Chains A and B, each alone.
Chain A
Amino acid sequence: MTASATMKYSSIKRAKSRSKAIHIALITLSCLLGLIFAFPLYWLLRGAFVSHSEILARPPVFFPEQLNADNFKLGLERIQFWRQLWNSVSIVVPYVIGTVLTTSFAGYAFAKLKFPLRGMWFVLVISSMMLPSAVTLLPQFSLYTSLGLAGKPALIIPAFFCAGGNAYFVFLLRQFFMTIPGELSEAAKIDGAGHFRIYSRIMLPLIRPAMIVVALFSFINCWNEFFYTMIYLKTEADYTLPMGLYIVNGMRIPNYEQVMALALVVTAPCLVFFLIGNKYFVEGITLTGIKG
């Protein structure tokens, strides 16, 4: 009796110490993986600040002797920087506004308002995110061309119609609206509030965190957009910043450090928004199982 008890005790103890060893090994593994993941970002940072002689030096220079800000100056001179920055901003800002407005409208309608064929429209709108973009490409292009909108407007307009991948956000916001109890809007209805008032005064304040998520993701999606900008922006004066970077990279210039500096400039807004919105990113993904 006692013998078997001690045996059992020692086997549990052994099992425990073994699982602790596994635990530590796995944590070490995750940390190593994390280092590998962080390294390319460090390499980008390093590349933007090293001098020309250091960037391809053998053995590699891991820490530049001095931070070289000239790379940025020379890199930016290779593109029409201010012009292209303005192009990017003037596309991103209305894009984000349009996305936040119309996806929250649609999310509200599909979650809270009863109207005929609601289920059908919802499925159709959502299914558009499973569509390969190539199948709508040419007719869209002809449509925009015939309306004289085949340029910047063609990149902004989809945001105002929940198109171009924004069906994601309709789904996300609908999930959020569904979590708001119906009693709230019922009470407001009895007080004589219309549907728009309920949406703007009661619903919006409640789903603010979700709206921030949508704004952040749509900023990053739009800033990083490349396929459609290649199609609709034709001259260098119309290019966005990523396209400016693409052209400079395509020239295969020997000054990698300048390309890296430009790449860092293009990446910086995304990193800044990530650092600001980190909490919301994780929260948004967590709540929906959807990423931007």
Chain B
Amino acid sequence: MNPESKTGVAPVYVKKHAKGATKEAVAGYLFAAPAIIGFLVLTLYPMLASLFYSFHKITILSGSQVMDWIGLDNYRYIFNNPSSEFKKSITVTLIYAFVNVALVIVFCLIVALLLNRKFISRNLLRAIFFLPSVVPMLATTIVWQMLLQNQAKGGLVNWLLLQLGIAPVEFLTDPIRIFETLFIMSLWTCGGTIVVFIATLQDVPGELLEAIEMDGGNAWHKFLKVTYPTIKPVLFFQLIMCMMTSIQIYTQSVVLSRNGAPDRMTYFINVMIYDHSFVQVGMRGLASAEAWIVFLITMVITGVLFYFQGSFKRDDSMGTRKRVRL
């Protein structure tokens, strides 16, 4: 039966080994089954189904979905019809996401570098920076709303500005200033990323930093030549994950206003898709098309980010090595 069974001792070993391998493969699939089934049923199937949905007009008749094939009409509507809400929504979402990612990454890196110095109460400070990130976004938004609102309504920040002789700022009703509010909240809750960066900074080789100091390099050289290459993989991972969460911003918008006020500037993609899916009637096909466009856009963004990470990495690591030998 077995091609190897001609030799004397081997068959027993081979057979037993093969049996063990099969057993291990079965066990592997059993252990991974929830994850694999979850991927197939709760991720892959819904993804393809929503692509299918996006070519239909979906109406609900006596509780069940009725689907009519309309080809690319939903996509045509999104791109050509002036009353489509998609363009404004994706624009404000992407502007928010890009600026937010840049702010969060730079801010977290600076705070992590600050907290990486040795001093008493450092651990207490780290805990303080992390704490807000466990607060529910809902509560976060309510507190900041309270702090930032018009000073006549009791906003503390505006009261402070007034005391300092600075003109109060309409953080919640000005269509541009509202973004400042969102960024402030986002920075306040980014403690997780700070902790990740602090942890990664422990891997930065101290000898290299000293070597650069000997060469007469300043803090900026140290960061560029040693710190940055070391933390780069983690930095990019955080960047990508931050991009994903930023694009899916939802809670802040609906707590501040239910309709994307002021001037639909906070009518983000997820808010719009929620409305089209569950509030307005007969727009589920459209919502699916919108979701698929968002999906493609995020794929392009993450693809570009991965590309940059790969190509930069090689150059930098070579650069450092050269520098160290000097």
Chain A residues within 8 Å of B, Cβ to Cβ? 23, 26-27, 29-31, 33-34, 37-38, 40-41, 43-44, 47, 55-56, 58-60, 102-103, 105-106, 108-110, 113-116, 118, 121, 124-125, 128-143, 158, 160-164, 167, 170, 189, 194-196, 199, 220, 223-224, 226-227, 230-231, 242, 245-246, 249-250, 256, 259-260, 263-264, 266-267, 270-271, 273-274, 278, 281-282, 285-287, 289-292
Contacts and interface: CB of A to CB of B under 8 A. Distances in A.
Contacts of B33: 105
Contacts of B304: none
Nearest to A194: B27
Contact of A115 (B28, B128, B156): B28
A264 B139 CA distance: 8
Interface stretch (B78-86, B267-275, B309-317): B267-275
Contacts of A287: 199
Nearest to B25: A115
Contacts of A110: 32
A167 B44 CA distance: 14
Given A59-B159, A242-B136, A246-B255, A136 B278 contact: no
A287 B251 CA distance: 29
A280 to B, nearest CB: 12
12 contacts: A37-B128, A40-B147, A41-B135, A60-B159, A115-B32, A128-B39, A138-B53, A226-B138, A246-B254, A263-B143, A271-B131, A274-B130
Given A133-B270, A136-B43, 15 more contacts: A34-B125, A38-B131, A41-B135, A105-B33, A131-B43, A135-B291, A135-B292, A136-B50, A160-B34, A163-B38, A227-B270, A260-B142, A281-B195, A289-B238, A291-B195
Interface in B12-60: 20-21, 23-29, 31-39, 41-47, 49-50, 53
A23 B25 contact: no
Contact of B28 (A114, A132, A224, A282): A114
Contact of B291 (A30, A60, A137, A285): A137
Contacts of B114: 26, 29-30, 33
Interface string B159-199: 10000000000000000000000000000100011011001
Given A130-B302, A266-B138, A290-B196, A135 B27 contact: no
B31 A195 contact: yes
Contact of B47 (A135, A160, A164): A135
A225 to B, nearest CB: 9
A143 B65 CA distance: 12
A132 B125 contact: no
Interface residues of B, number: 96
B134 A270 contact: yes
Interface of B: 20-21, 23-29, 31-39, 41-47, 49-50, 53, 65, 111, 114-115, 117, 119, 121, 125-140, 142-144, 146-147, 153-154, 156, 159, 188, 192-193, 195-196, 199-200, 234, 237-238, 240-241, 244, 247-248, 250-251, 254-255, 258, 269-270, 273-274, 277-278, 284, 287-288, 290-292, 294-295, 298, 302
B137 A163 contact: no
CB-CB nearest 3 A-B residue pairs: A161-B38, A115-B28, A291-B192
Contacts of B195: 281-282, 285-286, 291
Q: Is the interface of A mostly helix, strand, loop or mixed?
A: helix
Contacts of B193: 291
Contacts of B50: 135-139
A131 B125 contact: no
Q: Which of A41, A115, A125, A256 has the most chain B CB atoms closer than 10 A to its own CB?
A: A115
A136 B298 CA distance: 14
A138 B287 contact: yes
B35 A170 contact: yes
A289 B291 contact: no
Given A30-B114, A199-B31, A263-B139, A139 B49 contact: yes
A250 B247 CA distance: 24
A74 B273 CA distance: 36
A91 B289 CA distance: 31
Given A106-B34, A138-B287, A246-B255, A282 B126 contact: yes
Nearest to B119: A27
A290 B240 CA distance: 12
Given A121-B36, A138-B287, A162-B35, A41 B42 contact: no
Contacts of A281: 130, 195
Contacts of B130: 274, 281-282
